[in-house]
């Protein structure tokens, strides 16, 4: 396959489409550079741990920040200067981040989880950066408000993730299919490796933390039992695969087929709908999976139709192969119709 970079692919596939505007390309380039910087630090993390005390001082003589703080700062610093954003939302920051008036700004809004699954880094498990890109809705010159940001996932103009694993990959969609690019360290570029990814309509894998089974509601228990039985479409139990890192679990199911579930549970009264966040986790993954031919719901509603009420709103998530997610939707409909 001829070596095609992300920007070359965008320009080839978008032609006159608005996404090939210089501003979107600039946004993507800055995000890609951030990913390369994060990838460099993530790949060294284990070494720092092995070196013990030197884990406190990095090569530039700065105090080593926790990796997710580091990733967050890299993305914020690069993106606020890119001249294409009016605001950002990070999973790590309570409030939205407005672009300082001293920097050039634009109409895009970047919503991201800088390093999802970072609790797994010490076990050398793959982790990832998740992002969604919107356009601001108000066009008067006044400052950005929360209402500019609280847009349903269907309003995303692009979404994607970078997975820092055995190889580092960027998987994203700008509304014209899902495409995967693998970082070639020898040239320092993400090169097209998985054009037009489609998720199999029927999976053989289910991903859920069964340790919480006693906290699930009845339909959730019925759904998980279905995938573990011979009553399902395969006529035999699905394989359980659960890494505990959303980007890793999602990516595997995107390629092989399957369903990832983070249901509502009664463990934590403060998180009755589970721990995943609508804006910076569920909505970007939902855009990707739909563009790949899959489905994403909260049990009843399409994730991309949910109007957010607050920045860090949590949501149950059932996402993956269409036929598997349809079974979930039918089961909840029977219980709650
Ligand atoms: P649990 C990582 O902390 C994360 O946010 C997702 O990446 C992952 O899917 C989920 O939490 C795992 O949560 O409760 O099963 O450990």
Give 203-248 pLDDT, tens digit per residue. Answer: 999 999 999 999 999 999 999 999 999 999 999 999 999 999 999 9
Q: For residue 109, what pLDDT is reported?
A: 97
pLDDT digits (tens, 9 = 90+) for 135-166: 998 877 678 889 899 999 999 999 999 999 88
Average pLDDT value for residue range 196-201: 98
Tell me: the pLDDT tens digits for 181-198? 999 999 999 999 999 999
Residues near ligand 1 with C-beta < 6 Å? 116-117, 119, 209, 244-246, 249, 275
* pLDDT tens digits, 4-36: 999 999 888 776 565 556 899 999 999 999 999
| pLDDT score, position 69 | 86
Domains of the chain in start order, with CATH, are 6-194 (3.30.540.10), 205-336 (3.40.190.80)
Q: What is the pLDDT of residue 1?
A: 59
188: Cα separation from own chain's centroid: 23
Ligand 1 geometric centre to CA of 244 (Å): 5
Ordered alpha helix ranges (H), 188-269? 218-227, 246-256
Name the residue of 262, 270, 319 whose CB sits within 8 Å of the most ligand 1 atoms, as the mutation to test its pocket: 262
pLDDT of residue 126 exceeding 90, the answer is yes
Task: Output the pTM of the full model.
Answer: 0.93
Res 11: pLDDT: 84
Cα(117) to ligand 1 centroid in Å equals 6
Average pLDDT over the chain, rounded to whole? 90
| Distance (Å) from CA 208 to ligand 1 centroid | 10
Among 71, 113, 116, name the best residue to mutate to test ligand 1's pocket (greatest count of ligand atoms within 8 A of Cβ): 116
Residue 337: the pLDDT is 78
Q: What pLDDT digit, counting tens, does each position of 277-315 carry?
A: 999 999 999 999 999 999 999 999 999 999 999 999 999
Comparing CA positions, the residue from 242, 217, 200 lying closest to residue 316 is: 217
| pLDDT tens readout for residues 43-68 | 887 666 532 233 544 433 444 447 88
Give the mutation target among 245, 250, 271, 314 for probing the ligand 1 site: most ligand atoms within 8 A of CB: 245
Beta bridge partners, 98, equal 87
CB atoms within 10 A of CB 213: 14
Residue 16: the pLDDT is: 57
The number of the ligand 1 atom at minimal distance from the alpha carbon of 211 is 15
* Integer Cα distance of 8 and 288 in angstroms: 20
Distance between CA atoms of residues 269 and 265, nearest Å: 9
pLDDT at position 21: 65
For residue 247, the ligand 1 atom closest to its alpha carbon is 7
Per-residue model confidence as pLDDT tens digits over 67-111? 888 899 999 999 999 999 999 999 999 999 999 888 888 999 999
C-alpha dihedral, 48 to 53 to 56 to 61, nearest 10°: -90
Point out the ligand 1 atom lying closest to the alpha carbon of residue 116: 7
Q: What's the confidence (pLDDT) of residue 52?
A: 29
């Amino acid at each position: 396959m001829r070596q095609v970079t992300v920007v070359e692919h965008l320009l080839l596939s978008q032609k006159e489409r608005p996404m090939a505007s210089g501003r979107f390309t600039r946004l993507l380039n800055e995000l890609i550079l951030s990913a390369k910087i994060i990838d460099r630090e993530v790949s060294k993390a284990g070494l720092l741990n092995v070196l013990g005390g030197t884990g406190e001082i990095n090569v530039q003589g700065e105090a080593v920040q926790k990796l997710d703080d580091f990733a967050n700062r890299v993305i914020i610093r690069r993106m606020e200067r890119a001249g294409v954003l009016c605001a950002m939302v990070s999973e790590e920051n309570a409030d939205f981040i407005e672009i300082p008036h001293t920097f050039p700004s634009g109409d895009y809004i970047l919503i991201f989880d800088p390093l999802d699954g970072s609790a797994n880094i010490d076990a050398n498990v793959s982790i990832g950066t998740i992002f969604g890109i919107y356009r601001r809705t108000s066009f008067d010159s006044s400052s950005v408000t929360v209402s500019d940001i609280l847009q349903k996932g269907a309003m995303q103009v692009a979404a994607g993730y970078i997975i820092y694993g055995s190889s580092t990959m960027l998987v994203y969609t700008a509304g014209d299919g899902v495409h995967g690019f693998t970082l070639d360290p020898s040239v320092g570029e993400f090169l097209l490796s998985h054009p037009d990814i489609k998720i199999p309509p029927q999976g053989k894998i289910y991903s859920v933390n069964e340790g919480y089974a006693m906290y699930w509601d009845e339909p959730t228990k019925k759904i998980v039992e279905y995938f573990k039985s011979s009553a399902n479409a395969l006529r035999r139990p699905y394989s359980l695969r659960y890494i505990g890192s959303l980007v890793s679990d999602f990516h595997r199911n995107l390629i092989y087929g399957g369903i990832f579930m983070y249901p509502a549970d009664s463990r934590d009264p403060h998180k009755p709908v589970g721990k995943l966040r609508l804006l910076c986790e569920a909505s970007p993954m939902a855009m990707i999976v739909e563009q790949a031919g899959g489905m994403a719901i909260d049990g009843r509603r399409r994730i991309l139709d949910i109007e957010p009420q607050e920045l860090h709103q949590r949501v149950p998530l059932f996402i993956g192969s269409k036929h598997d997610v349809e079974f979930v939707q039918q089961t909840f409909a029977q219980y709650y119709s």
